[in-house]
Amino acid sequence: MQKILVARPIFPDVIERLKQYFDVDWNQGDVLPADELTRRIADKDGALTAGDPIGAAVLAAAPRLRVVSNMAVGYNNFDMAAFNASNVLGTNTPDVLNESTADFGWALMMAAARRIAESEHWLRAGQWQKWTYDGFLGSDLHGSTLGVIGMGRIGQALARRAKGFNMQVIYHNRSRVAPEIEADLNAQYVSKQDLLRRADHVVLVLPYTKENHHTIGAAELAMMKPTATLTNIARGGIVDDAALVEALRSKTIAAAGLDVFEGEPDLNPDLLSVPNIVLTPHIASATEATRRAMANLAADNLIAALGEGPRAGQPPNPINPEVIGKARS
């Protein structure tokens, strides 16, 4: 029987599925430190990860390893150059999380714009004495301009929801989406600078790459309207968190919502003392149905990539399909 490592706690019934095909080493405890991950993956044919860093050293330590299946759509934890050099397949879990993640993007954006977390903390602290005409004035979503940076599948799901709020949608992306998608979403392609200057609510939905590091820093925040909000449901590192703290303190922008952070789960501690920000612990895809779908898709990828199950040899979501069938190097 082939051996696999499941590096994180996941739904036990998904582990039972995997056990039908594999000898499973399941980490049910804390995130594995690099040395333990390297030790436990060394004799495995495949692995299931969820954000665990997999680079050249880990791959070199595991000469039998043929596939690493990430339970996430983002795979910036994989060094894909090292995967390609070793002929190891990487897989991810796109699509099944689009709608839940888009819902959550709206929840964060609305919470930031309407100051929900800030006013709730104030209420819980016993500070509510009387209703006032100017208590926690926020900014409207309806009729405003939504700026989406990253118009992939989640960005499109997010933009589609803007119709119900009668919002104008502008977007920036590596490349323009097809004209029929633009027409369906009523979305206009603009430069990043134009988007930052015009949008009332900016949402980040782009993958993390070296090129996207600090896509939003001090200069970009300075271009935004003082009434604008910024929401990040993409990846930490896309926003310069220190620059964001400064921009929120100085009211360069009105408010922000962050679900992802540079160096998470460690946070820039200054974020915690800024009132006009909503902070959540990377839960945009966290609904029962969606996390189950992600876990099952990650298992499907692993089972098929290791030549088992109904799709043997044809994993649904290969990131680097060119290595399929090549000998491990």
- Please tell me whether residue 72 binds ligand DGY under the rule CB under 6 A: yes
Nearest Cα neighbor of 213 from 197, 187, 237, 231 is 237
The catalytic residue among 8, 17, 115, 235 is: 235
- Please tell me whether residue 97 binds ligand DGY under the rule CB under 6 A: yes
Q: How many positions of this chain bind ligand DGY (CB under 6 A)? A: 6
What is the DSSP annotation of 89-100?
EEE---STTHHH
Question: Which residues have CB under 8 Å from 267's CB, separation 6+?
Answer: 241, 261, 279
The catalytic residue among 197, 282, 292, 328 is: 282
Nearest Cα neighbor of 95 from 249, 294, 284, 247 is 294
- Please tell me whether residue 316 binds ligand DGY under the rule CB under 6 A: no
- What's the min distance (Å) between Cβ of 148 and ligand DGY? 17
Region from 33-41, 72-80, 190-198, 244-252 binding ligand DGY, contact rule CB under 6 A: 72-80
115 counts as catalytic: no
Region from 52-60, 71-79, 154-162, 192-200 binding ligand DGY, contact rule CB under 6 A: 71-79
Rounded CA-CA distance 318/326 in Å is 14
Question: Please, which of residues 263-292 interact with ligand DGY by CB under 6 A?
Answer: 285
Rounded CA-CA distance 86/36 in Å is 21
Q: Specify which residues 256 forms β-bridges with.
A: 230, 277
- What's the min distance (Å) between Cβ of 76 and ligand DGY? 9
Give the pair of three-digit tokens for residue 174.
Answer: 């590596």
Give the pair of three-digit tokens for residue 245.
Answer: 């703290």
Q: How far is CA 29 from CA 6, 8, 11, 32, 103, in A?
A: 11, 7, 13, 8, 30
264 counts as catalytic: yes
What is the DSSP code (8-state) at residue 318?
B
Rounded CA-CA distance 69/302 in Å is 6
CB closer to ligand DGY out of 97 and 295 = 97
Question: Please, which of residues 107-146 interact with ligand DGY by CB under 6 A?
Answer: none
Q: Which of 3, 15, 38, 74 lies at the binding interface for ligand DGY (CB under 6 A)?
A: 74
Nearest Cα neighbor of 327 from 113, 63, 125, 103 is 63
Contact 121, 273 (CB under 8 A): no
CB closer to ligand DGY out of 225 and 235 = 235
- Please tell me whether residue 9 binds ligand DGY under the rule CB under 6 A: no
CB closer to ligand DGY out of 51 and 309 = 51
Question: Please, which of residues 51-70 interact with ligand DGY by CB under 6 A?
Answer: 51
201 counts as catalytic: no
- What's the min distance (Å) between Cβ of 85 and ligand DGY? 24
CB closer to ligand DGY out of 141 and 238 = 238
The catalytic residue among 161, 246, 264, 311 is: 264
- Please tell me whether residue 73 binds ligand DGY under the rule CB under 6 A: yes
- What's the min distance (Å) between Cβ of 68 and ligand DGY? 15
Q: Specify which residues 229 forms β-bridges with.
A: 201, 255
**Alpha-carbon dihedral of residues 111, 244, 287, 41, nearest 10 degrees?**
-170
- What's the min distance (Å) between Cβ of 158 and ligand DGY? 14
* Residue ranges that bind ligand DGY, judged by CB under 6 A: 51, 72-74, 97, 285
Active-site positions read 235, 264, 282
